[in-house]
Amino acid sequence: MQNLNRQHIKDEQLTNDWLKDNAITDKLFNETQVFQLQAYKASINILKHNVELLKINEYELLTSYCKRILNSRQRRSITARNTYQILNISTRINRQLFKQYRKLK
């Protein structure tokens, strides 16, 4: 029983570390829908690592989405359409990265 409790604490700490690394707080995780969190994570990763592949309007869209998701009042106004726009941008960037990687090989 004690080993199970230790494992639970270890797993919880790993989860909290992963959420922290992905800029997601416990409160944000509990109050936000899954597809919105996916879009938030995708936008954070693109803004950190692949900002040079974005168009100007896409950059503005991603930054505004990140700001809106962190504000609880503005988060309620985010629609599924807004979220899917972010996910579509992420998909396009990932395709570009894959094509670049394939050319290297």
Domain ranges of the chain: 1-31, 32-104
Enumerate residues 6+ apart whose C-beta is below 8 A from 14: none
On the question of pLDDT at 1 being above 70, the answer is no
What pLDDT is attached to residue 51? 93
Reported as a single tens digit per residue, the pLDDT across 43-72 is 999 999 999 999 999 999 999 999 999 998
Cβ contact 69:78 at 8 Å: yes
Q: How far apart are CA 45 and CA 99, in angstroms?
A: 18
Query: Which spans in 1-105 are helix H?
Result: 2-21, 26-31, 34-49, 56-70, 72-75, 80-104
Q: What phi, psi does 25 have (nearest 5°)?
A: -85, 165
| Average pLDDT value for residue range 90-98 | 95
Instruction: Find the largest Cα–Cα distance for the chain.
Output: 55
**How sure is the predictor about 30, in pLDDT bands with cuts at 50, 70 and 90?**
confident
